[in-house]
């Protein structure tokens, strides 16, 4: 596989972002935001930010230490009372202004996502649009913040009393964003936290930190008070545990790998947390499915965003009677997914986040082939690029059947019937998403009820979008809690019961 890169990769930002990203000797330098001040790390340390497009250094980011984390948390703690007292209407207005500013600089954000992560221009623009929409939809979320009145005369021990149950901000939210949607996913944690009246300490993903730094600058310009949103950049192994376990962190919102999520949960102690972790979605294709739809959507589900999605279709379980036809059509559909420089108009699959990730996917493919799978298309790897790959007749002892692939691989297995498909789907240790393709409503409903996951999509690939529908994991390795409009803001609040005489 040969990849032709179209010129040097650069991050282009306007003077508007100057406080957050300052010129360096050769590449821009990302700053920390602590207590309303953009600054370098306390110890002056930095780390390189490389583009997976060509492996070049495109920026340097401040490498936060424990001292920086402590200062960020202290700033968020100090800002709590005033921000909690800020009228909700004012918080909504800040979000509205942020949406407008983000729209003005949409091209800058999209360009940063392309350079930082290697998404195609179309995918990057879609992520920016989704973030802008999420800011605009915050008014829908706040409608979920309501209390309850409970009369006491229904019980002997509460006669003469009544209660009002209030929903209040939890305090300070630690937000951890993943690399695969470096703007939208961290924004979808920050926005509801702020709307509910919380302060936030947000940690950018080390592999793609630029979009979060830009996003914080937008909120600053929108009028968010100092100390309400603090941004730190650095290695999770150095500062993640401190941020999660700190006594002044009231809640954790994390999206990322299962192993890191488990580590954060172990160190955090008894505090509220939302964890969206790994996925191993099954796409079940029954004999009565519309094969044109099933093929298009399962290939899309496997290859979109180079497969780097927690809701990606990791394995396709096809009923035996249509198996060969499905495989033949899937091969033709896979040909449409050209791999290359994501800045090229013809490219549909860009690089993975780095060479290590591409090698991991390549190893999973090699393991499957060694155990008897048929490699029908792709399979080659070059630096951070992995060809869109089709594997058929994948045996059940292949690791790729049970692990989160996080790469552009269509893994296809034959199944005898629906019962077998459901059993195989549920055998996974993950439980985030799944899909079923069928023209029979009874089969669709039966499958949806039987699958042990947080979301089941019928006749389409799983997609979380802006969160109009709630999503989240069901099994421990896929996390706890729910994200989505109204649901995310619910996670960022706590209940208080006020009992009074009547």
10-residue block means of pLDDT along the chain (502 residues)?
90 94 95 98 97 97 97 98 95 96 98 97 97 91 82 94 95 97 97 96 97 98 98 92 95 95 92 95 98 98 97 98 98 97 96 98 98 98 97 98 97 98 98 98 97 98 92 95 90 95 92
Give me the pLDDT at residue 147, please: 85
373: which 2 tokens? Answer: 């799978």
Asked if the domains at 15-277+481-496 and 281-468 fall in one CATH topology, the answer is no
For residue 188, the SS3 value is helix
d(CA 14, CA 22): 10
| Angle value at C-alpha 138, between 475 and 466, nearest 5 degrees | 50
CA atoms within 13 A on the CB side of 131: 33
Name, in order, each residue with C-beta under 8 angstroms of 166's C-beta and a sequence gap of 6 or more.
Answer: 147, 495, 496, 497, 498
For residue 81, the SS3 value is helix
Name, in order, each residue with C-beta under 8 angstroms of 486's C-beta and a sequence gap of 6 or more.
Answer: 140, 141, 143, 144, 470
Name the helix (H) or strand (E) containing 22.
Answer: strand 21-22
Judge contact between 294 and 285, C-beta under 8 A: yes
- Domain parsing of the chain, residue ranges: 15-277+481-496, 281-468
Q: Is 453 a residue of the active site? A: no
Give me the pLDDT at residue 1, please: 81
Q: What is the pTM of this model?
A: 0.95
Which member of 310, 404, 453, 483 is catalytic? Answer: 310
Select from 14, 16, 11, 15 the least CA-distant residue to 48: 11
Residues of 433-468 as b/e, b for ≥16 C-beta within 10 angstroms? bbbbbbeeeebbebbbebbbbbbbbeebbbbbebbe
Which member of 71, 127, 276, 404 is catalytic? Answer: 276
CATH number for the region 15-277+481-496 comes to 3.40.605.10
Q: Is 325 a residue of the active site? A: no
CATH number for the region 281-468 comes to 3.40.309.10
161: which 2 tokens? Answer: 């009393």
Judge contact between 30 and 11, C-beta under 8 A: no
d(CA 472, CA 151): 34
């Amino acid at each position: 596989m040969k990849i032709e890169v179209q010129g040097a990769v650069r991050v282009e930002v306007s003077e508007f972002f100057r406080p957050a990203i300052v010129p360096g000797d050769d590449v821009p330098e990302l700053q920390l935001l602590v207590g309303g001040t953009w600054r370098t790390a306390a110890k002056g340390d930095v780390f390189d930010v490389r583009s997976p497009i060509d492996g070049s250094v495109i920026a340097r980011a401040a490498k936060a230490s424990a001292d920086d984390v402590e200062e960020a948390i202290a700033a968020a703690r100090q800002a709590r009372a005033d921000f909690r007292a800020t009228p909700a209407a004012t918080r909504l207005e800040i979000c509205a202004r942020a949406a407008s500013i983000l729209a003005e600089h949409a091209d800058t954000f999209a360009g940063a996502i392309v350079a930082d992560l290697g998404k195609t221009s179309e995918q990057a623009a879609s992520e920016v649009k989704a973030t802008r929409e999420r800011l605009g939809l915050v008014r829908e979320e706040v409608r979920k913040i309501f209390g309850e009145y409970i009369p006491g005369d229904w019980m002997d021990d509460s006669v003469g009393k009544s209660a009002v149950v209030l929903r209040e901000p939890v305090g300070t939210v630690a937000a951890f964003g993943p690399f695969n949607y470096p703007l939208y996913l961290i924004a979808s944690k920050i926005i509801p936290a702020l709307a509910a009246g919380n302060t936030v300490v947000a940690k950018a993903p080390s592999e793609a930190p630029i979009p979060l730094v830009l996003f914080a600058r937008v909120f600053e310009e929108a009028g968010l008070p100092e100390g309400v949103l603090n941004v730190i950049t650095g290695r999770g192994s150095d500062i993640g545990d401190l941020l999660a376990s700190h006594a002044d962190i009231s809640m954790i919102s994390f999206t990322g790998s299962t192993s890191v999520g488990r580590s954060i949960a172990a160190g955090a102690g008894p505090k509220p947390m939302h964890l969206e972790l790994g996925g191993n979605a099954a796409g079940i294709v029954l004999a009565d499915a519309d094969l044109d739809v099933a093929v298009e959507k399962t290939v899309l589900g496997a290859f979109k965003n180079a497969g780097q999605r927690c809701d990606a279709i990791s394995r396709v379980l096809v009923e035996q009677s249509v198996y060969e036809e499905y495989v033949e059509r899937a091969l033709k559909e896979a040909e449409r997914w050209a791999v290359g420089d994501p800045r090229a108009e013809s490219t549909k699959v860009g690089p993975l986040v780095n060479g290590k990730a591409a090698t991991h996917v390549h190893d999973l493919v090699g393991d499957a082939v060694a155990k008897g799978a048929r490699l029908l298309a792709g399979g080659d790897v070059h630096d951070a690029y992995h060809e869109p790959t089709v594997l058929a007749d994948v045996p059940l002892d292949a690791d790729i059947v049970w692990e989160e692939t996080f790469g552009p691989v269509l893994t296809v297995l034959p199944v005898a019937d629906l019962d077998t498909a459901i059993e195989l789907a549920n055998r996974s240790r993950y439980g985030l998403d799944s899909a079923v393709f069928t023209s029979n409503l009874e089969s669709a409903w039966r499958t949806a009820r039987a699958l042990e996951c947080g979301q089941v999509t019928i006749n389409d690939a799983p997609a979380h979008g802006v969160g109009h529908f709630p999503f989240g994991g069901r099994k421990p390795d896929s996390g706890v809690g729910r994200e989505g409009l109204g649901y995310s803001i619910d996670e960022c609040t706590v209940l208080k019961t006020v009992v009074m005489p009547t």
